[in-house]
A and B are shown apart, each in its own frame.
Chain A
Amino acid sequence: MSSKTPSADDIVRPMQSTQRWYYIVFGIASLLALGWFGLWSIQLQRGLAVTNLADWGSAGGVTWGLYIGAFIWWVGIAHGGIILSAAVRLFGMKRYLPVARLAELLTIGALSMAGFYIMIHLGRPDRMAWSVIQAYPVTVHQSPLVWDVTVITMYMVMTLTYLGLTVRYDINRLRDDLPSYLEPVYKMATLGYSEKEDEVIERIVWWLALGVIVMAPLLLHGGVIPWLFALLPSMPGWQGAIQGPQFLTIALTSAIAGVIILALVLRRAYDWYHILTDDIIRGLTLWLGLFSLLFIWLQLQQVITGVYAAPLDQRAFAHAKIANPYYQFAIGVVLIALAYIFAQAVKPHVFSVRRSLAASFMVLAGTLTEKVLFVFEGLEYPTFDMYYNVPGHYFPSPIEIGSLVGTIALCTLFFLVILKVIPVVELHAIEELRGEGHAPAEGDD
């Protein structure tokens, strides 16, 4: 713990000096990413036959698997991130201002990975752009997959706008401390800046935040993404109204876990203990607990309604689900995390950042497992189940698992690069912290 006063120098430090760990992490992440690109090129050449995917029905496989599961997971983190950041601005949760930009950046990184997963998943990625655009005027009326691409694009644009607007303030004021070789970038970013715009930008950003919060349940992880599954009557594990709330809570759970991890890593790397304080981590841990609880609650709803007196196809799925060891793992780790969070809420001395970090990793592993399982298990138990080879079988192949490593490495690279370009903690946050002395304001949330 530090009693230092937060200053502008703190947030430009990543751009001024580069430590050894940076090179090491950069090297490892690059290697992993390159390794993944190598694997992907094999898939592009030989086709998706290199995965463990197959046709459902007479063929005994599932046609969607880890790629789609990981896609939802990344989109979830992305959507959760922007919701978190929007909530900070909209509800004046100033305590969390220091992590707001981290959440936005996480959104951009994670959303890019989600987009990349769409490409990885396709049989003919070369046709993606042209085929989709050509048919767009018609398909946008009926295909959930097109809605999906639409909202992902929309949120990418919104988040970039969001970031682009808020970063002008910082760059203008910190320009002298920023690396000179990036001058053209900063020039572009602050084009036409004048201090008079600050107030206007703040209002625009507030409206953007409102848009994000309102649209989250309608179009983001509470809407379009779950509709990809919930609207199909042929797969009882997917169909139904609970998917919207379920997806949204998982998104928020994953995003908060992601932000906790990021914050803890960065504060250690740049000695930001006085900016990304224990207090923030404590608060985020509580939020993680709340959304984990919602996640468990909605799972319970599905299991109970599935096993009691559901129609046969739903019953078969629900029984298979609770008997699946991966499902038990997913629920188990979230329950353990919840137990810790509850304990530290009751007895504050139980809290430690290491435990919160562990809880975050467990929750992320749990949500990833649940999401991948949701996708392939749903396809293993279709309504039309009289085939010999139903339920089908699936376990991710090395290339599929490699994609996870690859995308996590790419997302890490994204952060390593962005650390060198813009301050990942807002100047506003520093001003806020200074204005109120060392101790951040006690929870207005």
Chain B
Amino acid sequence: MSRDDDSCGHGSCGCGDDEPADESFHPLGEDHEDEMREMLDDTEYDTELGMDMAEDAMKLIQGEISEAEFHEKYNEAVVEEFDVDDRPTVEAFEEAKAEENESIFQKLTGDGSVAEKLSNVDTEMNQSRRDTMKKMGAGAAALGLGGVASAQSSGDPKDEEYGAEPVGDTSEEGTQLGMVIDLNRCDGCLECVTGCIEENQTSTGANWMYVLTYEDDNTDQENFLVRPCQHCTNAPCEKVCPVRARHTRDKDGIVLTNYETCIGCRYCQVACPYGVNYFQWGEPDVPYEDLPGSENDYEELKQMPDDERHEQLVETNDHIHDDRGQWSDMRPPQGVMGKCTYCPSRQDGHQGEEKVGTVACMEACDAAGMSAIHFGDMNDPESRPQQYLRQRAEQEFERDTELDNGEEWGDTVTPWGKLSAFQLLEDLGTQPNVVYLGNEPGPDAEQVEGPVTYEQIGADDNRKEHLNQFTFGTGDD
């Protein structure tokens, strides 16, 4: 487990769901357990104590032991190790039970708890999740942080709606790839736009990733809105598609277009409230032969056994087919709809293991030192976007308590409440999987020229003008 964990999505850290012989107590598997052990080894605290507590914490979640028992069992050892046992006491637990609205996350972040310790953590963006975990130390491991939060909060009324938790329900089953985009970190450099165009070889003006610099009547400052596809859980584009070309991939919840069957009716573009679709009106700028993987035929691919197909796709560095052998990555062919894909051939490991869990725009954003885009499994409390959200929540809270000492952590104020998080056009019911941190554009928000223009990065902002040259009878021909 010496891989750099910075890029760890669901796939590369071995925390998948395909380990039947796994004896681990932890729902995320043996590998994860080893990882925790390793982290504990790096701290000054007792590894075995941490692991035992973590194991019992899981039992606690399953209801096999009571919180009172759990408390009692480790009280002495904890006091010995940490000089103090700050875990929720039996009384606190009973009190908490009485208050139905209080969530486990509040307990976690209660006075003097794990979260408060966490709030002292250095939240520089270049630090890896692993570093954070190290600093969290035994406490985090003992409480099985992510595990507890997701397992117990599932029955919690506050999770039923998006209101309280900005990312929705982390207890949802399965993988749902999504993004947390911190608009406060964006400086409008358009590196993500360039990264996307280079990755996908999209035609002029088809800016799958798009950044709007905007002015709002309510604020004087320059604001940005980073707009990839929202990969909605309730995607209108998918619903209206007459041929099921637009679909959600079961494996990770990303919304893709099957370039093999799309008839180019453009109803998806009409139904999408965000305007993320870009049709291939004419011949693509980059010919098919120049796309990595063009030598593979999708019909042949589909007939291969899964393993063989995967091998073939990895060997050929295939960039246009996903692991199902479906042609749905990179720019679409003429007459077919395209949009941001969340780089399926990366997620499927065709670009090498190190690219799994990454997308081109995030990579470009990180490389530019901005790290505004955080891509990963929105249902996994340990994923990069979820970890980032927590980190930011705690950061925000920290800042706020300094301003107002009357507030009590976890009492009336929750960390999520401190976050200025929103989803775009949430009230249309699309259930987008992109969560924004920062200012939400108001009704009068108007796009203005950004600090870096599309012209400067060699992209085209107004595709209509570009397309005009191909119009028959009035164009250049």
Listed in ascending order, the chain A residues whose CB lies under 8 Å from chain B are 39, 42-43, 46-61, 63-64, 121-125, 127-128, 131-132, 134-135, 138-139, 142-146, 149, 232-235, 312, 379, 382-384, 386-390, 392-393, 397-399
Contact B270 A63 (CB under 8 A): yes
| CA A143 to CA B464, docked complex, whole Å | 28
Q: A143-B267, A386-B214 are in contact. Are A124 and B335 (CB under 8 A)?
A: yes
Q: How distant is the Cα of A54 from the Cα of B282 in the complex, in angstroms?
A: 11
B90 located at the interface, meaning its Cβ lies under 8 Å from any Cβ of chain A in the complex: no
User: Which of the residues B207, B467, B471, B473 comes within 8 Å of A58, measured between beta carbons?
Assistant: B207
Residue contact B278 to A145, C-beta cutoff 8 Å: no
With an 8 Å Cβ cutoff, the count of chain B residues facing the other chain is 64
Q: Are B335 and A58 in contact (CB under 8 A)?
A: no
Contact of B279 among A48, A235, A398 (CB under 8 A): A48
Nearest residue (CB) in B for A394 is: B464
Question: Contacts of A131 on B, CB cut-off 8 Å?
Answer: 242-243, 245, 261-263
Which A residue's beta carbon lies closest to that of B475? A50
> A389 and B461: CB pair below 8 A?
yes
Contacting pair B261 A49 (CB below 8 A)? no
- Distance to closest chain B CB from A118 (angstroms): 8
Which residues of chain A have C-beta atoms less than 8 A from B280's C-beta?
A: 47, 123
User: Are B270's CB and A64's CB within 8 A?
Assistant: yes
* Distance in Å: Cβ of A117 to nearest Cβ of chain B: 12
Given contact pairs A122-B263, A127-B263, A131-B263, enumerate 5 new A-B contacts (beta carbons under 8 Å): A57-B277, A58-B463, A123-B280, A123-B336, A234-B272
Which A-chain residue is minimally distant from B443 (CB atoms)?
A312
Chain A residues contacting B468 (CB-CB under 8 Å) are 52
> Given the complex, which residues of B lie within 8 Å of A134, measured CB to CB?
243, 261
Q: Are A56 and B445 in contact (CB under 8 A)?
A: no
Knowing A48-B335, A58-B207, the reply to whether A233 touches B266 (Cβ < 8 A) is no
A55 near B283 with CB under 8 A, answer no
Report whether B463 and A54 are in contact in the complex, using a CB–CB cutoff of 8 Å: yes
B278 touches A397 (CB 8 A): no
Which one of B206, B212, B269, B425 contacts A387 once the chains associate, using CB atoms below 8 Å? B212
Query: Closest Cβ of chain B: how far from A371's Cβ, in Å?
Result: 16
Q: Among the listed A49, A125, A387, which residue makes an inter-chain contact with B470, where contact means beta carbons less than 8 Å apart?
A: A49
Min CB–CB distance A256 → chain B (angstroms): 30
Interchain CB contact under 8 A, A386 and B225: yes
Q: Which of B267, B279, B429, B463 is within 8 Å of A145, CB to CB?
A: B267
| Interface contact A398-B473, CB-CB below 8 Å | yes
Q: Determine whether the beta carbon of B283 is less than 8 Å from that of A234.
A: no
Q: Is there an interface contact between B462 and A389, defined as CB atoms closer than 8 Å? A: yes
Stretch at the interface among B233-241, B360-368, B396-404: B233-241
- Identify which of A58, A64, A382 gathers the most chain B CB atoms within 10 Å of its CB: A58
**Also in contact, A397 and B273, with CB within 8 A (given A59-B205, A143-B241):** no
Chain B 323-358 near chain A by CB (<8 Å), digits 1 or 0: 000000000001111000000000000000000000
Residues A132 and B242 in contact in the complex (CB < 8 Å), given A47-B335, A392-B464: yes
